[in-house]
Every structure is written in C-alpha cells, then in structure tokens.
Amino acid sequence: MHVPQRMCVSCRKRDEKCKLIRIVKIKDTPILDNEKYHDGRSIYVCKDEKCIDLLKKSNALQRFLGASANDNFYETLKGIK
C-alpha cells in the first residue's frame, strides 16, 4: 500500500505525510492545517524542535509561502506532538 510522502522544508528529510506538520497560507497568513482541510499553497515541517527553530531562522515561511508569522506561531508549532 502506498503511503503519501512529503519533505520537511527545514531538514529536507522525507517522511509520511501524517507525521509532519502542514502549514498553509490563507490570505497572506500562515495557518496550521492539522486536519489537511484547507486548499492552497502549503509546506511541511517535522515536529522536531530543531526543524521548527530552523524554519524560523531561515525565514522559510516568507520564502516558500510569502507569509510571515510571529513568535507565538512558532511556539504553537513546538507544542504539537
């Protein structure tokens, strides 16, 4: 059986789609899409704190989605397990 794979934008590691956090851009704002409900441009990041820190440091949200987030957004990401 085929399991959908996606790549983390921070560490570039491929993993099962369900094991990664999906972030989608809605009206120039990044939104967590845990239910994989929203359509549109999105990125995936590992649930690892190092990957989330690198996401923030590298400004990947701005580069890939054209959206920026505040510190609370990144803290929310770190709380997802």
pLDDT of residue 36: 75
pLDDT of residue 39: 84
Residue 13, domain extent: 5-78
CA separation for the pair 33, 69 (Å, rounded)? 15
CA separation for the pair 28, 17 (Å, rounded)? 23
Q: What is the per-residue pLDDT across 26-77, written as a single tens digit (0 to 9) for each?
A: 888 899 987 778 888 899 999 999 999 999 999 999 999 998 899 999 999 9
Query: What is the number of structural domains in the chain?
Result: 1
For the cut 90, the answer to whether the pLDDT of residue 12 exceeds it is yes
Say how many C-beta atoms besides its own lie within 10 A of residue 68's C-beta. 12
**CATH number of the domain enclosing 51:** 3.30.1230.10
